[in-house]
Amino acid sequence: MTAMSTRYPVAPVVSAPARGREHLNSTDLHLAGLSATDLPGADLREADLQEARLRDTCLHAADLRDANLRDADLEGADLDAADLRGAHLDGANLRAATFSPLTAWPAGFDPLAAGATPTRTEHPTDPVGVRRGR
């Protein structure tokens, strides 16, 4: 396990303003209460988020490769462009979690069957990241 810098707390304070990319790779966040936390672009590679509460958390473009998300509550989380390759999602609650075509899932994982909701459909001629009106 990699030692964590003292610059960042183990569990970000919900009321704290965003500081940019959080470096929490390999951090033990088992059972952490992180609901409604803004963690866009966070580095959570190999983090232990088992049974963590991540409801309505912004994980836009977060790196969650090989993270342990078993039994985590991700209901309503923003997973747009998140990288979840190799993540362990057994028992995770993904109901109403949103994702885009830029979200990378573990091999063989079906986000729709898990209850996640696509946020947009990109047209082949659209520049990457452009939302189409609906």
Encode pLDDT of 3-59 as tens digits. Answer: 444 443 444 444 344 455 678 888 899 999 999 999 999 999 999 999 999 999 999
* pLDDT bucket at 125, cuts 50 / 70 / 90: very low
Handedness of CA 112, 122, 130, 107 (dihedral sign): positive
Distance CA 46, CA 74 (A): 17
pTM, entire model: 0.74
Predicted confidence at residue 121, as pLDDT, reads 54
pLDDT digits (tens, 9 = 90+) for 94-121: 999 999 999 999 999 999 999 999 996 5
12 contact partners, CB below 8 Å, separation of at least 6: 22, 34, 37, 39
